[in-house]
Amino acid sequence: MKNALLITLCVSLLATNVASGQQDPMFTKYFFNSLIYNPATAGSAEHLSANLIHRQQWLGLEGSPSTQSLTAHTPLRNEHVGLGLSMVNDNIGASGTFDLNTAYAYRFRVGKTSKLSIGLQASVTNWRGNWSELVLEDNDDVSFNDQISRWLPNFGAGIYFYNQQFYAGVGCPRILEYDLRQVDQQTTPIYARTYRHYYATIGSAFKLGGNNNLIIRPSALLKNTGAFSSLRKDKAFRNFGSPTELDLDLSFMIAQTFWIGAAYRTAPRIGQIVE
């Protein structure tokens, strides 16, 4: 069991990748970081589960994307309750975010082997921008006069169905959307803001040829930020959002200790960010 945990951690460190076009960091091996996308997964491993990831893109290039995440979740003695904690730090250029999230899941038995979990999340996000690191063409641009550091409280929810062979879930980690303008810039018609992210996951695990030493794990993650955007009160931001993206993964678990697999992500076309 210890070997399996060690190899899983090493694979997740080597195989992470961040998606473009969204505000939330994304990871290629998303099933290792499921708590980030859906609070209802808290406790679903049926034991204490912890995951630490560091990712550095374009090593040696100043301002290149860098992401760190730490997640931990566990069931309580009351088998119906699961708790989770996650922290994500994301930097790119002169801007970055830090998320601190707590998750609570209440789980119901469905039949003899399955469970349905309903999760709630409370979180706070720090949005920061150190504009002194930028080289500006116009040094008098008032948009870059001040440094930005804002703490934004939020909440999220999710639902998750699972057993030993199958899982499926839908989550929205941060439901509130925030205006990121400074107080003295209320006349700005188009401005930065946070967006609501939606995630849907599905996957399974089964023996290949009835062999306990070879398990196949197909899975998929669907991501969207534009759903229901037409209902926003601010007309300037209706139909805004990144393109829907789909991650597909096919992995093999060998002898309960070693993972190997391949992943595919749909690529958004340039100009799709605004509908």
DSSP string, 5-20: HHHHHHHHHHS--PPS
**What's the mean per-residue pLDDT of the chain?**
81
Read off the pLDDT of residues 166-206 as tens digits, 9 standing for 90 and up.
999 999 999 998 887 655 555 655 567 788 899 999 999 98
Closest by CA to 31, choosing from 175, 212, 225, 167, is: 167
CA gap 36, 44 in Å, rounded: 14
Q: Tell me yes or no: is domain 2-265 CATH 2.40.160.
A: yes
Q: Containing H/E element for 75?
A: strand 66-75
How much of the chain is in helix, strand and coil states, percent to nearest 5? 15, 45, 40
CA gap 86, 203 in Å, rounded: 22
Low-confidence ranges of the chain (pLDDT < 70): 1-22, 138-146, 181-191, 230-231, 233-241, 267-275
Do 149 and 132 touch, CB atoms closer than 8 A? no
